[in-house]
Chains A and B, each alone.
Chain A
């Protein structure tokens, strides 16, 4: 069954080529190819999860070269849930993109390449291989962000490209330091060799700093988040959904890999300053991201800054090095992907239905589009952390971990950020349910025109007011909202699933 591991990476890359080749002959074949590929990948991901549950960690040696010399792909308790998340979200976004666009085989080629890159980062057990997959992910993501119609999207894509490349290059330099210190690139082998090289060695410390900093650029923690709001808000709606749900998520997963598999908690016992620095950098990001989110007027931009804050929380969860906090980090990683992807999808649906994109334009949305307003409210409140949603469970475990390790400032920061998150979502809910539709001269007219534009651009039917949003698009948001609540009840199940892996890490 270990073949499923390599198939999860190869199938999307093969699908990307197929989509490109099929495009030469059949103009509109991209969606079909992408849907079938993502379906197949979801199958392999579920097979991986099933084998990991049954038999524990699975390893696949690429091309028959034995590790540590050869490259291996690894599915364990940490990577299996993430690969299932990647496959599920990929399929959901393909369904969403059918109506929301962009269309054409070029889009789906890039999309499947991105899926393959993310699967590769998730499953690889080799640090240089991780760099290559990070760059494949990045390359596809830059091009997808720039595929928007607006002139700003190209600028946002270029900014993302330059910062993302610098981040990945730092990661490469860190891998080089680790290689010089140990002579190996395999993650498991590195953890032993780094210990042998001595955790106090400057090379090892340099490798840690460069690897983690490089990844944090990709995660978009404050203050290296500057590429992220532009990229999220100027990308086409489907792309926003996908990259907000997965690209930073997988980078944050890579941070956990580097912290737990490569450097191990003993490294932090030897260098407490490394842990302190990481935890407080995350804390600053939590607060700064929330404050910046409160200041935004554009919905997509606000959600983007909110991600800066939520990923601060995930990284803090990983860096606290307590088992509860790590469980919280993983739950919040998955929960945030579902919630933020769902919210961006909901924003896309609302924009297609009514043309509303800023908080002021959401006034009175509950009477114009009651279902969409309700979904935005449910997803928003889940992100705030109202029990029993998944947003609550993740934060709760991280806060428990902070208290257990005696890191009180983090517990306080999580509480403060919850209040700030409530501040920006309460504002939207207030607009949607309790405000009258705007009477200012511009808005109403602008909204009406936008509806017309949206319809003609999408080429959908023009019969009723929700012509721009297809039932599939709404269904994707409904599934996300249901998942947000049900995953909250699965918290303890996820904890017991992660336990064997984390016990191995924390001893």
Chain B
């Protein structure tokens, strides 16, 4: 157990981020917190990818003289793309939330559902 914590802590952090994020998306009634949860979930996945790129004793993947081992560059590139996607999604989500707030005057999902069924 201690061994797992000291050697695989990155994976544990990734799992905690994902589980916490997913719980926030499902369990929280505040729409902004749902979006934060969604971001946490994605961040967990990003961390997971980056961790898998690690090579024992590897240098950052920029070619230098006299360096033999580099960490794998591909996951970094993939995650760079995924981060861009995540930022655009957050931007769209926040835009929608601003519109929802200006129309309903609240960010609580249950209150909004109640107002919708009343119509």
Chain A residues engaging chain B, CB cutoff 8 angstroms = 128, 131-132, 135, 138-139, 142-143, 146, 151-152, 154-155, 157-158, 161-162, 165-166, 169, 172-173, 176, 179-180
User: Which residues from B are CB-within-8-Å of A161?
Assistant: 89, 92-93, 96
Interface centre among B74, B82, B103 (most CB of A within 10 A): B82
User: Which residues from A are CB-within-8-Å of B31?
Assistant: 158
Indicate whether A172 sits within 8 Å of B82 (C-beta atoms), given known contacts A155-B116, A157-B96, A166-B22.
Answer: yes
Q: Is the CB of B88 closer than 8 A to any CB of chain A? A: yes
User: Which residues from A are CB-within-8-Å of B93?
Assistant: 158, 161-162
> What separation, in Å, do the CA atoms of A179 and B48 have in the docked complex?
12
> What separation, in Å, do the CA atoms of A162 and B81 have in the docked complex?
19
Contact B49 A176 (CB under 8 A): yes
> What separation, in Å, do the CA atoms of A176 and B25 have in the docked complex?
22
> What separation, in Å, do the CA atoms of A143 and B96 have in the docked complex?
8
Shortest beta-carbon distance from B46 to chain A in Å: 9
Q: Mark B50-84, 1 if CB is under 8 A from A, else 0.
A: 00100000000000000000000011001001100
Closest to B100 in A: A154
> What separation, in Å, do the CA atoms of A169 and B49 have in the docked complex?
12
Could you jot down 29 A-B contacts, CB within 8 Å? Answer: A131-B82, A132-B85, A139-B88, A139-B89, A139-B92, A142-B92, A143-B92, A154-B96, A155-B100, A157-B96, A158-B93, A158-B96, A158-B100, A161-B93, A161-B96, A162-B25, A162-B34, A162-B35, A162-B38, A165-B38, A166-B25, A166-B41, A172-B45, A173-B45, A176-B45, A176-B52, A179-B52, A179-B75, A180-B52
> What separation, in Å, do the CA atoms of A94 and B4 have in the docked complex?
57
Chain B residues engaging chain A, CB cutoff 8 angstroms = 22, 25, 31, 34-35, 38, 41-42, 45, 48-49, 52, 74-75, 78, 81-82, 85, 88-89, 92-93, 96-97, 99-100, 103-104, 112, 116
User: Which residues from A are CB-within-8-Å of B100?
Assistant: 151, 154-155, 158
> What separation, in Å, do the CA atoms of A79 and B41 have in the docked complex?
32
Which one of B49, B82, B88, B97 contacts A158 once the chains associate, using CB atoms below 8 Å?
B97
Shortest beta-carbon distance from B53 to chain A in Å: 10
Shortest beta-carbon distance from A277 to chain B in Å: 21
User: Which residues from B are CB-within-8-Å of A180?
Assistant: 52
Shortest beta-carbon distance from B103 to chain A in Å: 5
User: Which residues from B are CB-within-8-Å of A128?
Assistant: 78, 81
Q: Shortest 4 CB-CB distances between A and B: which pairs?
A: A158-B96, A151-B103, A154-B99, A135-B85
User: Which residues from B are CB-within-8-Å of A165?
Assistant: 38, 42, 89
What is the number of contacts between chain A and chain B, taking CB atoms within 8 Å? 66
> What separation, in Å, do the CA atoms of A93 and B4 have in the docked complex?
55
Shortest beta-carbon distance from B72 to chain A in Å: 9
Indicate whether A151 sits within 8 Å of B42 (C-beta atoms), given known contacts A158-B96, A162-B25, A176-B49.
Answer: no
Shortest beta-carbon distance from A243 to chain B in Å: 16
User: Which residues from B are CB-within-8-Å of A154?
Assistant: 96, 99-100, 103
Shortest beta-carbon distance from A169 to chain B in Å: 5
Shortest beta-carbon distance from A13 to chain B in Å: 15
Shortest beta-carbon distance from B54 to chain A in Å: 12
> What separation, in Å, do the CA atoms of A272 and B66 have in the docked complex?
50
User: Which residues from A are CB-within-8-Å of B82?
Assistant: 131, 172
**Known contacts A131-B82, A169-B45, A176-B45, then 10 further A-B pairs from the complex at CB < 8 Å, ordered by chain A residue:** A128-B81, A143-B92, A154-B100, A155-B100, A155-B116, A161-B92, A161-B96, A162-B93, A176-B75, A180-B52
Shortest beta-carbon distance from B74 to chain A in Å: 8
Indicate whether A151 sits within 8 Å of B104 (C-beta atoms), given known contacts A157-B96, A158-B97, A162-B38.
Answer: yes
User: Which residues from A are CB-within-8-Å of B42?
Assistant: 165, 169
Indicate whether A135 sits within 8 Å of B89 (C-beta atoms), given known contacts A152-B116, A166-B25, A172-B82.
Answer: yes
User: Which residues from A are CB-within-8-Å of B112?
Assistant: 155
User: Which residues from A are CB-within-8-Å of B52?
Assistant: 176, 179-180
Shortest beta-carbon distance from A53 to chain B in Å: 34
Which one of B35, B49, B96, B104 contacts A146 once the chains associate, using CB atoms below 8 Å?
B96
> What separation, in Å, do the CA atoms of A454 and B89 have in the docked complex?
33
Closest to B77 in A: A128
Contact B89 A173 (CB under 8 A): no
Shortest beta-carbon distance from B48 to chain A in Å: 6
Shortest beta-carbon distance from A256 to chain B in Å: 24
User: Which residues from B are CB-within-8-Å of A172?
Assistant: 45, 82
Interface centre among A131, A135, A158, A166 (most CB of B within 10 A): A158
Closest to A145 in B: B96
User: Which residues from B are CB-within-8-Å of A143?
Assistant: 92
User: Which residues from A are CB-within-8-Å of B104?
Assistant: 151
> What separation, in Å, do the CA atoms of A481 and B61 have in the docked complex?
57
> What separation, in Å, do the CA atoms of A187 and B50 have in the docked complex?
22
Closest to A143 in B: B92
Which one of A138, A169, A176 contacts B41 once the chains associate, using CB atoms below 8 Å?
A169
Contact B81 A173 (CB under 8 A): no
> What separation, in Å, do the CA atoms of A237 and B100 have in the docked complex?
21
User: Which residues from A are CB-within-8-Å of B74?
Assistant: 179
Interface centre among B25, B75, B85, B97 (most CB of A within 10 A): B85
